[in-house]
Amino acid sequence: MSDLLERLRGRGWRLTAQRRVVAEVLDGDHVHYTADEVHARAAELLPEISRATVYNTLGELVSLGEVLEVSTDGRAKRYDPNAHHAHQHLVCSRCGTIRDVHPAGDLLAGLPAGERFGFTVSAVEVTYRGICPGCAATA
């Protein structure tokens, strides 16, 4: 994580207490928090941090490529700190849990040239949906 802060400083980031705690929150478990959850956890470390700053900081981390924005449910966006490691998501349709997964093969290759309509295709996002073991048990 201090790697992250170093990297960002190298890119001209001014290192404030607020940015530090946001980075610290994201660095914890490999979960996918919403902006509000990040704010709540950041506020435990730095009570006076504002929502606007959390949004700003998350936005910056996303455009610097340090964090990924995922929106699997059309509700609040979630922030995925695992940006340096290509992966996709497996989502439980019942409880919304998100797991990172690593499909085999080249996903981009699945789209034939004849189906590209002249687009320059550069990325692919995959969401697998199903029922997690926990929810299957309590069905």
Partner DNA sequence: ATCTTGACTTGGACTAAGTCCAATGTAGGA
Partner DNA sequence: TCCTACATTGGACTTAGTCCAAGTCAAGAT
Annotated binding-site members:
92, 95, 132, 135
End-to-end CA distance of the chain: 39
Residue given tokens 């997964």 in the structure block: 101
* Stretch touching a second copy by CB under 8 A, among 9-17, 40-48, 55-63, 108-116: 108-116
CA nearest neighbour of 1 among 41, 37, 30: 30
Report the residue from 1, 40, 76, 131 that binds DNA according to the rule CB under 7 A: 76
CB 97 within 8 A of CB 123: no
Amino acid sitting at position 85: H
The verdict on 64 binding DNA (CB under 7 A) reads no
- Distance CA(23)–CA(8), nearest Å, equals 11
Q: Which of 28, 40, 59, 116 binds DNA (CB under 7 A)?
A: 59
Q: What are φ and ψ of residue 105, in 5° steps?
A: 85, 175
Residues in contact with a second copy by CB under 8 A are 69, 71, 74, 77, 90, 92-93, 99, 101-105, 107-108, 110-112, 115-133, 136
Residues in contact with DNA by CB under 7 A are 9, 13-19, 34-36, 46, 48-53, 55-57, 59, 74-77
